[in-house]
């Protein structure tokens, strides 16, 4: 009898433990990073520090920028998150790249980011990747017309915005990132996209390629010398 009573009391105590004041709810309890499946938490822990979101402004391209989302292929977003960009500020987040996320977690990020892609409007958008070669000489003229009012005549910064040719900045970003910024702008920082820099005159594919080429010419090596792009060679 005493044994039964003791056993019953133990069972009741274990049941009551789940109702202890201050005990976290199941959804609030700690779980390994690999088991997190909530998009908001995954984004906050892995992406928001660089990319911001909504009213949170950060250093890199916001992943809710409508123009950027409109041109960004899903497969490219998946690749960027998984593999990162070698030698640039974007790390790879997949386990294969040494990152902390599983394939399922990366898919959750991609699916939710892509879900914010705006509906097609019928307006002709530039392509994500360049389809025409850029000319840096023409790019200097286009920059003067479309960008210099904010970034200064030489690109080193003006009254409204900072430098876009600072070597430290250019060392952090890829050529494709520069093209994406020229296309999508940074509305969160007051920088308009390709269609709104010059009222009533959207930048063309050639204009975008030319300005991007001009920006690339300002890359410098560790000794401050211009980095001359090398032509691809056949394997």
Q: What string of pLDDT tens digits covers the 235 residues of the chain?
A: 665 665 565 655 555 555 666 667 766 777 788 899 999 999 999 999 999 988 899 999 999 999 999 999 999 999 999 999 999 999 999 999 999 999 999 999 999 999 999 987 767 899 999 999 999 999 999 999 999 999 999 999 999 999 999 999 999 999 999 999 999 999 999 999 999 999 889 999 999 999 999 999 999 987 778 886 655 444 3
In the prediction, which pLDDT does 120 show? 76
In whole angstroms, give the CA distance from residue 150 to residue 163. 9
CB neighbour burial string for 170-204, b if at least 16 within 10 angstroms, e if fewer: bebbbbbbbbbbbbbbbebeebbbbbebbeeebbe
Burial class (CB in 10 A: 0-12, 13-18, 19+), 23: exposed
Counted residue by residue, the chain has a size of 235
In the prediction, which pLDDT does 31 show? 76
In the prediction, which pLDDT does 153 show? 94
In the prediction, which pLDDT does 232 show? 46
**CB distance 51 to 64 below 8 Å:** no
In the prediction, which pLDDT does 16 show? 55
Distance between alpha carbon 79 and the CA centroid of its chain, in Å? 12
In the prediction, which pLDDT does 211 show? 98
Number of H helices, E strands in the chain: 11, 0
| Residue labelled with tokens 């063309």 | 204
Per residue, what are the HEC states of 16-81? HHCCCCCCCCHHHCCCCHHHCCCHHHHHHHHCHHHHCECCECCCCCCCCCHHHHHHCCHHHHHHHH
Structure tokens at 83: 């593999």
């Amino acid at each position: 009898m005493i044994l039964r009573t003791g056993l019953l009391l133990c069972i009741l105590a274990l049941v009551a433990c789940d109702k202890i004041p201050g005990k976290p709810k199941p959804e609030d309890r700690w779980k390994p990073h690999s088991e997190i499946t909530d998009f908001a938490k995954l984004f906050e822990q892995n992406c928001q520090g660089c990319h911001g979101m909504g009213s949170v402004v950060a250093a890199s391209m916001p992943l809710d920028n409508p123009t950027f989302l409109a041109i960004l292929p899903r497969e490219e977003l998946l690749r960027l998150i998984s593999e990162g960009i070698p030698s640039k500020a974007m790390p790879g987040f997949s386990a294969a790249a040494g990152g902390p996320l599983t394939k399922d977690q990366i898919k959750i990020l991609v699916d939710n980011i892509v879900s914010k892609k705006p509906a097609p409007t019928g307006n002709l958008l530039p392509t994500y990747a360049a389809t025409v070669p850029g000319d840096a000489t023409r790019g200097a003229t286009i920059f003067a017309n479309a960008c210099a009012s904010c970034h200064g005549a030489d690109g080193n910064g003006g009254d409204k915005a900072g430098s876009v040719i600072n070597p430290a900045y250019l060392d952090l970003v890829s050529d494709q990132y520069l093209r994406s910024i020229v296309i999508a702008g940074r509305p969160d920082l007051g920088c308009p996209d390709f269609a709104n820099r010059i009222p009533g005159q959207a930048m063309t594919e050639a204009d975008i390629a030319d300005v991007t080429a001009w920006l690339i010419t300002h890359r410098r090596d560790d000794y401050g010398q211009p980095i001359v792009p090398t032509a691809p060679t056949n394997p």
